[in-house]
Amino acid sequence: MTTNASQHRDLIHRFVTETFGQYVLSHDDFRGDLSLYIKAEGLIPICEAFLEDDSLQVHFLADLTVVDWLDTERGDEHGRFEVVYNLWSMRHNYRFFLKVFLPDTEPRVASLTDLWQGANWMEREAYDLFGIDFVGHPNLEKILTPDDLDGFPLRKDFPLTYEVPHFTWNKDQPPEVIR
């Protein structure tokens, strides 16, 4: 980490912990990237503050993704789903992450679509593949998978392949390969 990057890291860290200390659970610097673990209810206030703030200009939501920590120590400890918000400071060209852990049953977090238009499709994708419920999203529907696919394919308990019968001896009921 260069000195510049460490200064920017401290600026961001201070900005979040000073005002929103009650929401921040912990932080880490894995491979030089700052990750702030926050409570789900703190997401909207923190992001709103970022958008209003002009000294850091964290105005760019670069990415949004989910990690499924099923059957791991990390998942058992914090919650199965980790939603990762990838933010970028336009002024300092610095990237950092906000991470929210969600439980196995009814994973639910507030939608960022009111703050960033770009979050719309990212959240739809996360819903489609992981089944995370983004509260307040205007159009939370399937985006990638076909309508007749049940379940959320990128969850770890979803099988990678699906079995289709190649042929059958029962000529009255031909195999339904494509519905």
Q: Which stretch binds another protein (CB under 8 A): 9-17, 18-26, 102-110, 147-155?
A: 147-155
Q: Does residue 1 touch another protein according to CB under 8 A?
A: no
Rounded-to-10 torsion of CA 161, 167, 172, 178? 40
Residue for token pair 């983004």: 134
All residues at 6 or more sequence positions from 33 whose CB lies less than 8 Å from its CB, including other chains: 95, 96, 97
Out of 69, 85, 101, 127, the residue judged to bind another protein by CB under 8 A: 69
CB neighbour list of residue 29: distance below 8 Å, 6 or more residues apart: 9, 35
Instruction: Report the residue from 105, 106, 138, 161 that binds another protein according to the rule CB under 8 A.
Output: 161
For 120-173, the DSSP string reads HHHHHHHHHHH--EEET-TT----SS-TT--S-TTSTTS-S-----S--S-TTS
Q: Which of 19, 55, 117, 168 binds another protein (CB under 8 A)?
A: 117
Tokens for 176, please give them.
Answer: 């339904």
Q: How far is the CB of 106 from another protein (least distance, A)?
A: 21
User: CB under 8 A: which stretch of 8-16, 40-48, 62-70, 100-108 binds another protein?
Assistant: 62-70
Which residues lie near another protein (CB under 8 A)?
A: 28, 30-31, 33, 35, 59-63, 65-69, 72, 74, 82, 84, 86, 90, 93, 95, 97, 116-122, 125, 129, 142-146, 149, 153-154, 158-162, 164, 177-178
